[in-house]
Amino acid sequence: MAALLSTWLLVASAAMGQAGPGVYPSQPIRLIVPLSPGGLVDTFGRAVAQHLSKNLGQPVIVENRPGASQAIAAEALAKSAPNGYTLLMATQSGIVSTTVLRKTLPYDPLRDFATVSLLFESPLYLVVHPSVPANSVIELIALAKAQPGKLAFATIGNGTAPHIGAALFMKMTGVEFLHVPYKGSSSAIADLLSGQLQLMFEGGVSSLPHVRAGRLRGLATTAARRTDAMPSMPTIGEAGVPGYELNTWFGLMTRAGVPRPIIDRLNREARDMVKLPATYEKFKASGIQLLSSTPEEFTQRIRAELPVWSKTLRDIGIQPN
């Protein structure tokens, strides 16, 4: 009888283990956004949450956890249970740059996280306050060389895409800007609009509406080609800095150890979302390029970028801290 009971328990346990992913999700899901509300990552993250809520039948709650170059959000994911109920809107800055630049981290992105899918790539836009007497990249370079260290630019932290964009620009042109870090893009944009800052390398969601309204002047995009969102705006490369290019990726991740059927379900939903005409219409004005990937392709991209970005960041003068 004892042997029979033991066998029954083993069979039941195996059955429940197989059934677990099949009933996913059975409770609300948390989507951690590593930046403050209002920017591109937050806006896209909320669109992801809405899509998942509709298609998975459970609420997806967005939780903004900015700070420490996105390490606070990543650590929250690392400390979560590996059950698929905690997701992260991952950025290249937060996963690759922060890993390279922080001397110690309480997590390893390749060991502690599981990739789901890439979602989109985005360039930045070089924008200036209308009071800045520069109507082109060449004029901005001349102005900066005449006033070294006087023109202030905002970022959302050390090693973030706006910081890398500005540092790469300074390295390639020989100019010097004053770096002013902020916790979020909304407060940085507010100070740029008020004239407290002179320029910014910023995503399209935050910057382009102000360019179209005349509140900011757009000089160029960091993309390799002109964007559909602002086709009249040149690239930095064609505007006077040959070879300059910067695009950053954004994707969906979860905790390592999440069962593969759950990751596959999330991957299907992510792929479906970026293919929707409604998604394209919602974000076309921001200049992003929607894309998707398998989990393996996403992981390989991170693995390949870590040594490359380590050298790149050192070369442009962004040091570990």
CA angle 249, 24, 267 (to 5 degrees): 25
Mean pLDDT of 178-207: 93
Region 111-139: mean pLDDT is: 98
- What does pTM read for this prediction? 0.83
pLDDT over threshold 90, residue 232: yes
Q: What is the DSSP string of 108-122?
A: -HHHHEEEEEEEEEE
Name the CATH superfamily housing domain 28-122+247-315: Bordetella uptake gene, domain 1 (3.40.190.150)
Domain with CATH 3.40.190.150 in the chain: 28-122+247-315
- Please determine, for residue 1, whether its predicted confidence score (pLDDT) is greater than 90: no
Cβ atoms of residues 257 and 114 within 8 Å: yes
Average pLDDT over residues 105-131: 97
Long-range contacts of 223-227 (CB under 8 A, 24+ apart): 223/123, 223/247, 223/287, 227/123, 227/287
> Region 163-179: what's the mean pLDDT?
96
Question: pLDDT tens, 298-307?
Answer: 999 999 999 9
Q: Where in the chain is the domain with CATH 3.40.190.10?
A: 125-221
Phi/psi at 32 (5° precision)? -85, 125
Domain 125-221 coded CATH 3.30.470.20 = no
Would you call 84 exposed, middle or buried from its count of C-beta atoms within 10 A (0-12, 13-18, 19+)? buried
